[in-house]
Structure 1
Amino acid sequence: MTNIDRTLAPDFKAIDNITLLRPERQKLHNGCNVFCFNSGDQELVRIEWIFGNLRFKPAKPMLNMAVNTMLTEGTSTLNAAQIADKIDFYGAFLQVEYGYENSTVTLYSLNKHLHHTLPVILDLLTNSTFPEKELETFKRNQQQKLQVSLQKNDFIARRDFNKAVYGDTIYGLGATLDNYKSLQRDDLVAHYKEMYQPANCTIVIAGKIEPEALALITDTFDKNWVNGPTAADTTQPDIQPATELLYFTEKPDALQSAIRIGTPIINRNHPDFQQLQVLNTVFGGYFGSRLMANIREDKGYTYGIGSGLSSLKQGGAFFIATEVGADVCKAAVTEIEKELNLLKTELIPNEELALVRNYMLGSLLGSLENVFSHADKFKSIYFAGLDYDYYDRYAATVKSVDSAKLLELANKYFHFAQFYKVIVGKY
């Protein structure tokens, strides 16, 4: 039996390359693109129908979210309970998910039951009726959830920050009670008919895909699914960030203050983005970051603080988020600025940078645990208009970017005086 000296940390092992599964692609006659990731031993598939959201309308801002969320509330042949019962009976799982840019219907099903479960999905995508009774229930539930959320400082801070950075767009939407009250069934039906059609859909299939199963999927969603007379308008208004930089919502009784600080920034299509990801990780992108070491470990101002880069089709943002004791809010903002300025004036030590490199490459490798995660990586680049060389460049960039380049990037993109600063609580 080998004795292990547990007083010694294991050696780092460099990650030489990261191999991702690539999909097989076909296009259906109705214009729907289908991508297949065929891998795994279990007779299980995940099928995603992904739709581009329609153009944001400030006068009717909740339509994309409401239509997607209510897809399972009833069709011309099945009510909500019957839909759920049919899916459950065959041990399948169905969910709908709304995002800023896309809305998704996801089915997990055994191959042998697809001939029972796929017709339910086709029914949702072609015959959803948005019953008036269920719509009223949806509106009440959403208003109640919003009222609860508006009591949370971090929720308000995130809304105010997004509104400042992204303006009057789908990215900057902060729903109000009146937005939900004004939802009308006729608007939902019209939105549904324009958006949920094959030319505006990408199907991503992952799992053990038997030839018979693939044929069943493609036949079901080609022969029985046709486009409507109006093509889906998925263009979006231009982003117009706010001119005001400081947003303070005072809550005299607050024990904690929510802080959100940041700025509009490049997205993943820009050549600087991957190097900026390394810089962000050093600053606040993981548990060993500088923000955590200073504001949590050293000062004890918070349980957690972090920074991040959001990449969207039309833009992106760099942000810092935390909740701190109300009495130390101003001190925390000062320390955040201090840490940001250090990135602009001092080279990152090689030992610290080596740790971050290993963390980032290890995180990428660790995120590829099954065929579903490989499909998720594909979606990230496909909907951004990128190819697989993005991940090759990512690994190369993480390994090669040096402290001098990161110092240059910090001075190029991080100007604290020009950052939006949102405080909810006491300041």
Structure 2
Amino acid sequence: MSTFPPQPPIGLPGDWHFPAPANARLSNGIEVRVYQLPGQHVISANLVLDIPLNAEERQLEGIATICGRTLDEGTRTHGGEEFAELLETEGAGFAIDLSLSGMEAVLDVPATRLHRALQLFAEAVTEPSLADDDVNRHVQLRLAEIEQAQANSSQMASIAFRSAIFDETSRAARMNGGEPETVATITPEAVRRFHQDHYGPRGATLVLAGDFTDDPVSLAESFLGQWKNDNQSAAAHQPPTAADRRLVIVDRPGAVQADVRLGGYAIDRRDPRWADITVASYAMGGAFLSRLNAVLREEKGYTYGVRMQFSPLRTGGSFAVQGSFRTEVVNDALVRARDLLGITRQPFTQREVAEAVAFFAGVSPLRYATADGVAEQAATQVLAGLDEDYVDANIAALRAVTPASATEAYESLVKPDELSLVVVGDAATIKDPLHASGFPVA
């Protein structure tokens, strides 16, 4: 007989909602969204700048990345080493994140050190030195980063897949950080000019999340409210366009493994089918025992894992089935994947939908339990042009998904015989079998 006391019953989780911000505007027009989160004593500040990557000149693509990465290498007030020491003294972390839609400068700092850290943060963004040596070093680091990516089969598959999905006229078809031939032409003068032309308060949003004891808006006004740039130019967001179907092998002679990307052009989060396709893709290739993984990993042992993922942009997006397979089985794996992707005879079930909804609804309180999680999501919503209540609205939409609606959305977007394919592997071994199986790869 057990001596342990009876365990309390486990009930369903209570209602959860994404925090609502208090909104304000600085004197120079910067929008501020403050998320007061009691108990979160590490503050996250995300400054979102409306600088889409299509603002770059075609021959200088990658300059936004170089400019962003050089921001914390010193300012007009503090040299590089001094700036780094001051930031470390405050226990603060500075980072940048660039996407096709814009740039984020990110600060994480203990709440008790926010005043000084936010001042340094503002310095880095508004008056960086962008010294010649620092810019040139980051250009070389980016070129080395590209070489490393080209030596990695999985990364090469993702890079090649972008150019297979998006038309060559779209910025989305090329690496966010620029291609070797464009990065190599970036000069310190060009980087300083890019900062002067595009960095400024117009269109900027500051997201602040954490447990604030003092008024964070007044603090932001002190350090960012006087930032002006009369020469700031705005670049319109250019939606990507889809490329014609492509089937490509990137040859790696002698490779014992092939990396695969099979997918196509897709939708963004504002499409009414977004919740349905989120559930459908989880059932097909998101869960560990999804349809794809259950066969290709668990039953056949062809791979350590395969997944299906939809990647939304501000407008449009892409989706891909991706995985790594032994060279001798990659053809059979692709044939089976193509068959599994067709669901006409096996639509999604109530159990699959319920498990997907439970996962997404259940993970949200954990994902947004910290200040940085809330700030990151709020900044993502700004970059994507989404409403402040997006998370709650999306969870409600997920709970309304049915097997029929998930199946309908999936079949409208995923057409197995029309998908683009990128395979990075030994072309001499895999090309002919793929041709024979209906994949006319070039």
**Could you say which residue in structure 2 is the equivalent of 1:354?**
354
Matching residue within 14, 22, 25 for 1:24: 22
Kept in 2, the 8 Å contact 1:93–1:108? The answer is yes
Q: Per the alignment, do residues 254 and 158 of structure 1 end up closer, same or farther by CA in structure 2, a change over 3 Å counting?
A: same
Q: Which residue in the other structure is 2:230 paired with?
A: 229
Give the match for residue 157 of structure 1. Answer: 157
Structure 1: gaps (5+ residues): none
Aligned to 1:252: 253
Q: Structure 2: which 5+ runs fail to align?
A: 431-442
Alpha-carbon distance in 2 for matches of 1:406, 1:108: 39
Change (3 A) 1:57 1:401: same
Distance 1:368 1:86, change over 3 A: same
Matched, 1:184 2:187: yes
Residue correspondence of structure 1 range 67-86 to structure 2 within 5 A? 67-86=67-86
Aligned identity (percent) is: 20
The two structures have a TM-score, normalised by structure 1, of: 0.91
1:2 equivalent in structure 2? 4
**1:279 partnered with 2:280:** yes
Give the CA RMSD over aligned residues: 2.3
- After superposition, the Cα gap between the structure-2 partners of 1:11 and 1:256, relative to the gap in structure 1 and judged at 3 Å, is farther
CA shift, 1:320, in A, is 1.1
Cα distance in 1 for residues equivalent to 2:333 and 2:14? 39
Contact 2:165 2:244 in 1 (8 A): no
Q: 1:59 to 1:370 in 2, by over 3 A?
A: same
Q: Would the alpha carbon gap of residues 392 and 40 (structure 1) be closer, same or farther in structure 2, given more than 3 Å must change?
A: closer
User: 1:187-209 deviations in whole A, cap 9, x for unaligned?
Assistant: 11111112221113211111111
Alignment of 1:111-150 (within 5 A): 111-150=111-150
Deviates more, 1:404-413 or 1:156-165: 404-413
3-state DSSP of counterpart to 1:199: coil
Deviation at 1:3, TM superposition (A): 6.6
Pairs aligned (count): 420
Letter in 1 for 2:16: I
CA drift of 1:344 comes to 2.8
Q: Distance in 2 between matches of 1:97 and 1:394?
A: 24
The correspondence for 1:45, drawn from 37, 43, 46, is: 43
Cα deviation, 1:32-89, whole Å, max 9, x if unaligned, reads 0011011123543211211122424322111111111111122223222111100111
- Partners in 1 of 2:387 and 2:276 — Cα distance? 18
CA contact (8 A) 2:40 2:370 kept: no
Contact 1:48 1:204 in 2 (8 A): yes
Q: Which amino acid aligns with 1:134?
A: D
Contact conserved, 1:56 with 1:237, CA < 8 A, in 2? no
For 1:258 and 1:328, the matched residues in 2 are separated by: 12
Which residue is equivalent to 1:295? 296
Q: Give the structure 1 partner of residue 416 of structure 2.
A: 416
Q: 1:140 to 1:260 in 2, by over 3 A?
A: same
Residues 293 and 4 of structure 1: is their aligned pair in 2 closer, same or farther, counting only changes over 3 Å? farther
Q: Note if 1:338 corresponds to 2:336.
A: no
| SS at 1:383 equivalent | helix
SS at match of 1:200: coil
Alignment CA distance shift 1:361-1:117 (3 Å)? closer
- Distance in 1, matches of 2:404 and 2:215, equals 55
Q: Could you tell me whether the CA contact under 8 Å between 1:260 and 1:421 is conserved in 2?
A: yes
Task: Provide the rounded CA distance (Å) in 2 between the counterparts of 1:412 and 1:126.
Answer: 46
Distance 1:34 1:22 in 2: 13
The AA in structure 1 aligned to 2:195 is: Y
Instruction: Indicate if the aligned counterparts of 2:42 and 2:371 stay in contact, CA closer than 8 A.
Output: no
Residue 45 of structure 2 aligns with an amino acid whose one-letter code is I
Query: What is the CA–CA distance in structure 2 between the aligned matches of 1:389 and 1:103, rounded to whole Å?
Result: 22
| TM-score, structure 2 normalization | 0.88
Instruction: Give the deviation of 1:170 after TM superposition.
Output: 3.1
In 1: Cα distance, 2:297 partner to 2:71 partner:
43
